[in-house]
C-alpha cells in the first residue's frame, strides 16, 4: 500500500523531472544550433582562405578568372596602374595567405568558441550549471575571444601593410618599364572585432558570476 510519504516523494520527483525537461529543451537546442554555426564558421573561413590563396574566382558555368585586387578583405578600392593590370595572382602566395589569415583566424576563433559554448550548454542541460567545467569553459571562451580578437587585428594590420608594399612595388615596376602609372588604393580600416571582444569580457564576467553561484550552491547544501 502506498503511503503519503510515497506520494510526496513521487510529486517531488515529478517536479524535478519537469524542471530537467524544460532545462534540456532550453539548452540542448541552442547547443546543437551553436555547433552547426561553428562548423559553418570554420568552413567559410577555410573556403575563403583557399579562394584567396588560389587567387581565382570559382565560376559555376564558365572559366575561372583571376580575382580583382579590391576583392581582398583589406582593400576597398584599387585603380589599376595605367599600362598594366594587377590581380590577386600578382601577389606572392604567402601575401595572399596573409590577406586571408585574419578571416581564417576569425572563423577558427568563432568555431572554437562555439565548440566551447556547446560544451558549457550541455553541462547546464545536465544540471551542472555551477560545476567546475562550466567555469573553466567560460574562462576559456573569454580568453579565446579576447586574445583571438587582438590576433585578428594584428594580422589585418600586417596584411594591409604588406599588400600596400606589394602594390607600390608593382606600380614602380610598371613605371620603370616606361609605363604610365596612376595607381590609387582605398583601404579598409583594420578590423576590430568589437562584438567578439565584448562577448569575451562578458564570458569573463559570467565566469565570476558562476563561481559566486557555485559558492552559494555549496552554502545552500543541506539548508532546510
Pick from 1, 59, 189, 223 the residue near another protein by CB under 8 A: 223
Cell of 112: 572554437
Q: Is 12 in the site for another protein (CB under 8 A)?
A: yes
Task: Give, for 77, the enclosing helix (H) or strand (E).
Answer: strand 75-79
d(C-alpha 21, C-alpha 38), whole Å: 25
Question: Cβ of residue 211: shortest distance to another protein, in angstroms?
Answer: 12
Pick from 4, 60, 63, 178 the residue near another protein by CB under 8 A: 4
**Residue span binding another protein (CB under 8 A) among the ranges 8-16, 47-55, 98-106, 182-190:** 8-16
Per DSSP, the three-state class of 189 is: coil
Query: Which positions from 201 through 220 interact with another protein, judged by CB under 8 A?
Result: 218
Nearer to another protein, 8 or 77 (CB): 8
Q: Rounded to a whole number, what is the largest CA-CA distance in the chain?
A: 105
Question: Cβ of residue 210: shortest distance to another protein, in angstroms?
Answer: 17
**Residue span binding another protein (CB under 8 A) among the ranges 3-11, 41-49, 60-68, 115-123:** 3-11
Query: Which positions from 148 through 177 interact with another protein, judged by CB under 8 A?
Result: none
Q: Which of 64, 48, 58 is nearest to 103 (CA)?
A: 48
CA distances from 166 to 31, 91, 105 (A): 44, 7, 22
Question: Cβ of residue 10: shortest distance to another protein, in angstroms?
Answer: 10
Which residues, other chains included, contact 75 with Cβ-Cβ below 8 Å and sequence gap of 6+? 69, 163, 185, 186, 187, 188
Beta pairing class for 184-187 and 65-66: unpaired
Pick from 5, 59, 60, 189 the residue near another protein by CB under 8 A: 5
Q: Is 3 in the site for another protein (CB under 8 A)?
A: yes
**Residue span binding another protein (CB under 8 A) among the ranges 4-12, 26-34, 47-55, 82-90:** 4-12
Nearer to another protein, 9 or 93 (CB): 9
d(C-alpha 218, C-alpha 194), whole Å: 36
Per DSSP, the three-state class of 56 is: strand
What's the length of the chain?
224
Vertex 153: Cα angle to 57 and 116 (nearest 5): 90
Q: Binding-site residue total for another protein (CB under 8 A)?
A: 12
Q: What is the x/- site pattern for another protein, positions 61-80, by CB under 8 A?
A: --------------------
Q: Point out which residues bind another protein (CB under 8 A).
A: 3-5, 7-9, 12, 218, 221-224
Amino acid at each position: 500500500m502506498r503511503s503519503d510519504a510515497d506520494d510526496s516523494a513521487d510529486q517531488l520527483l515529478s517536479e524535478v523531472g519537469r524542471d530537467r525537461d524544460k532545462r534540456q529543451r532550453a539548452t540542448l537546442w541552442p547547443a546543437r544550433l551553436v555547433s552547426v554555426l561553428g562548423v559553418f564558421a570554420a568552413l567559410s573561413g577555410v573556403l575563403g582562405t583557399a579562394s584567396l590563396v588560389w587567387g581565382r574566382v570559382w565560376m559555376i558555368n564558365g572559366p575561372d578568372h583571376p580575382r580583382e585586387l579590391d576583392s581582398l578583405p583589406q582593400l576597398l578600392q584599387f585603380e589599376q596602374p595605367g599600362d598594366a593590370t594587377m590581380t590577386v595572382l600578382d601577389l606572392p602566395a604567402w601575401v595572399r595567405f596573409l590577406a586571408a589569415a585574419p578571416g581564417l583566424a576569425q572563423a577558427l576563433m568563432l568555431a572554437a568558441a562555439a565548440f566551447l559554448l556547446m560544451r558549457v550548454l550541455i553541462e547546464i542541460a545536465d544540471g551542472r550549471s555551477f560545476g567546475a567545467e562550466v567555469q573553466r569553459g567560460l574562462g576559456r571562451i573569454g580568453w579565446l575571444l579576447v586574445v583571438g580578437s587582438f590576433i585578428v587585428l594584428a594580422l589585418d594590420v600586417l596584411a594591409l601593410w604588406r599588400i600596400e608594399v606589394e602594390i607600390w612595388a608593382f606600380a614602380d615596376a610598371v613605371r620603370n618599364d616606361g609605363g604610365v602609372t596612376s595607381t590609387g588604393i582605398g583601404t579598409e580600416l583594420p578590423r576590430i572585432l568589437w562584438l567578439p571582444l565584448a562577448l569575451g569580457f562578458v564570458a569573463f564576467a559570467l565566469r565570476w558570476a558562476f563561481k559566486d553561484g557555485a559558492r552559494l550552491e555549496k552554502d545552500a547544501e543541506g539548508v532546510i
